[in-house]
Structure 1
Amino acid sequence: MRYIFLVFLGACSYGILSTIVKLAYGQGYSPAEVIGGQMFFGFVLTWIPALFFLRTKPGKKQLLLLVGVGLAVGSTGILYYNALRFIPASIAIVLLFQFTWMGVLAEAILTKRIPDKPTLFSLVLLLFGTLLAGGVWETGGIAQFHIMGVVLGLLSGVSYTLFLLFSGKAAVSVNPWVRSASMSTGSFLLAALVYTPVFLWNGSLLDGLFPYVFLLALFGIFIPTVCFNFGIPHTGPGMAAILGAAELPMAVFSSYIILHESVSALQVAGVAVILLGIVLPEWLRQRQRQKQRSSSLR
């Protein structure tokens, strides 16, 4: 249960990001400054504790694998934040949330096992709840929005699926703190290649950018990467994809509390359905285990 809680906590921390990004964009900061700053300070934050666990350094092959996984984290942020330039946040997060079924499908293909009934039922609830919480029907559907935003949003879901899939499998023998730092290195390298890190010398950090990018690094890089590196090797990518759905209720909640955005009754119902979809599979499995124990005792 503690590993399930860690993955859940990591997903919740992701839900705060859209609110912080909106606040930063509202202050006039560019995607290059916001994304680059997040990845840079995420790199710094994850390496500080990792330095105390470098007694056994990862091999070159392991390091390259972890940096490669970090590229998936970085590409998710770049794709999702750029999708927000073309389509509303409610639609962008629905497209990102296609990772729920993508992750379950990817695990089924790799393990050559059909997901059990609790997982499939949970997946249906999550997809339905995501559409409700994202306000898709209230905004008239996805088809009316800019095609570039839709494509970028879907690609962010694909890259996030790859992160969930490989973060629990790449170099699992390496200390989780070092794994997290290595992944954040990949994210920062990708961001630096896509966006010149002008924020380091143009004075924007001291001019008000720092609080936004530091919080984005904390909730978007440090907390989720560490939680996932400790948790996903034990939960598996399929369960991690389901638990990752906690991001959307947190996004709705933080937007309502911090940005004072209106939340409709349908969105509240969607959040409730998502939370049910997260809790349901583990609850059903616990009931099955109890029945098996009681029948064995008889």
Structure 2
Amino acid sequence: MKTWHYALLVLLGGCCYGALSTFVKLAYSAGFTSAEVTGSQFLMGTLLIWLVALFSKKKKLTMPKIGKLLISGIPLGLTSLFYYQSLQSLNASLAIIFLFQFVWIGSLFEWFFYKKKPTMGKLISIGILVIGSIFASGIIAEGSGEMSWQGTLWGMLSAITYTTFIFVSSSVEKDTPVVQKSALFTTGGMITVFILSPPTQLLHLPVLMEIAPYGFYLGLLGVVLPPLLFTIGMPYVGPGLGTILTSSELPIAVILSSLVLSEQVSASQWLGVILILGGIVVGNLKISKKKMKKYAVLEKESTT
């Protein structure tokens, strides 16, 4: 595969996450609860990923390693629970803004856990990101009437747990095959969801059949595809460009919320989205070019 092919995979992974909020809102409008939506997503997603795992490369794992991978899936389940709770009181285009704060929260995690102090370029990009978030939230155009403290809290919690999952998943059992590792992460996430928000209504066959289409799309787009696409593509594009590419979730979320849900997105919100993307570019573009050249050279050497 060419280098740009790997970049496209990461871009598509970000687009998958961006489409989630629209499908969740559609499920809510159809009368389903947060527990039913989240439960169906993880149930369908776990079944799909294990189906793929049956025909994929696997490695024999000890019980401690299996337990570690299952525990590492807890932040994945918490992210969905928190994010979908925020969608109950926030517009889809606003909820995704709070989830998107994982970019600068990730820098704080890196500083705290790995002692990697942010560079000036990174600090500037974070500043632009915060300003862009204010515009994108709609506060400038409409005031704070569209916001609620509950939705804001759930949204920020989802950003923290999402960041935690990114850090944990990149450091736990690196030699485990991709699909097998994703399947165990997902199973851990499903167990977390089922314990904290039991989807008891899914035990009724009519309810399960009605929500199955939503669960299938949410499971595919939020549980199965992104981890696989990121795991395949990230090593080749590097973390800098990878961050830029995964930001595709933001414009996708805003565009779909406008086209599918008919949510009004003001000019200032579009400006905020542009500022956020620009802030990430400022902080990472220079590094990304170096990474792309590096991986292009490695790929060329591997084919000769």
What TM-score do you get using the length of structure 2 for normalisation? 0.83
Residue of structure 2 equivalent to 1:187 = 189
Residue of structure 2 equivalent to 1:105 = 108
Q: Secondary structure at the match of 1:198?
A: helix
- 2:51 corresponds to 1:51: no
Q: Is the 8 A contact 1:13 1:247 kept in 2?
A: yes
- Residue identity in the other structure for 2:103: T
Residue of structure 2 equivalent to 1:9 = 12
Q: Is the 8 A contact 1:43 1:184 kept in 2?
A: yes
Distance in 2, matches of 1:70 and 1:64, equals 10
Report how far residue 54 of structure 1 moved. 4.7
Report how far residue 169 of structure 1 moved. 0.9
Distance in 1, matches of 2:174 and 2:289, equals 31
Q: Is the 8 A contact 2:240 2:284 kept in 1?
A: no
Q: Is the 8 A contact 2:58 2:177 kept in 1?
A: no
Structure 1 residue runs without a partner (length 5+): 291-298
Distance in 2, matches of 1:95 and 1:156, equals 8
- Residue identity in the other structure for 1:150: T
Report how far residue 124 of structure 1 moved. 2.8
Distance in 2, matches of 1:4 and 1:23, equals 30
Residue of structure 1 equivalent to 2:297 = none
- Residue identity in the other structure for 1:229: T
Give the 3 Å change call, closer, same or farther, for CA 287–21 of structure 1 in structure 2. closer
Q: Is the 8 A contact 1:47 1:181 kept in 2?
A: yes
Report how far residue 212 of structure 1 moved. 1.1
Q: Is the 8 A contact 2:10 2:242 kept in 1?
A: yes
Identity %: 36
Deviations 1:120-160 (Å, cap 9, x if unpaired)?
33333333323322323223248x84433332222111111
What TM-score do you get using the length of structure 1 for normalisation? 0.85
Q: Secondary structure at the match of 2:256?
A: helix
Match runs of 1:1-298 below 5 Å: 4-141=7-144, 145-194=147-196, 195-206=198-209, 208-232=210-234, 243-285=245-287
- Residue identity in the other structure for 2:161: S
Give the 3 Å change call, closer, same or farther, for CA 155–20 of structure 1 in structure 2. same
Report how far residue 260 of structure 1 moved. 2.7
- Residue identity in the other structure for 1:171: E
Structure 2 residue runs without a partner (length 5+): 293-304
Q: Is the 8 A contact 1:132 1:270 kept in 2?
A: yes
Distance in 2, matches of 1:8 and 1:118, equals 23
Report how far residue 109 of structure 1 moved. 2.3
Q: Secondary structure at the match of 2:143?
A: coil
Distance in 2, matches of 1:147 and 1:126, equals 21
Q: Is the 8 A contact 2:243 2:280 kept in 1?
A: no
Give the 3 Å change call, closer, same or farther, for CA 288–192 of structure 1 in structure 2. closer
Q: Is the 8 A contact 1:37 1:199 kept in 2?
A: yes
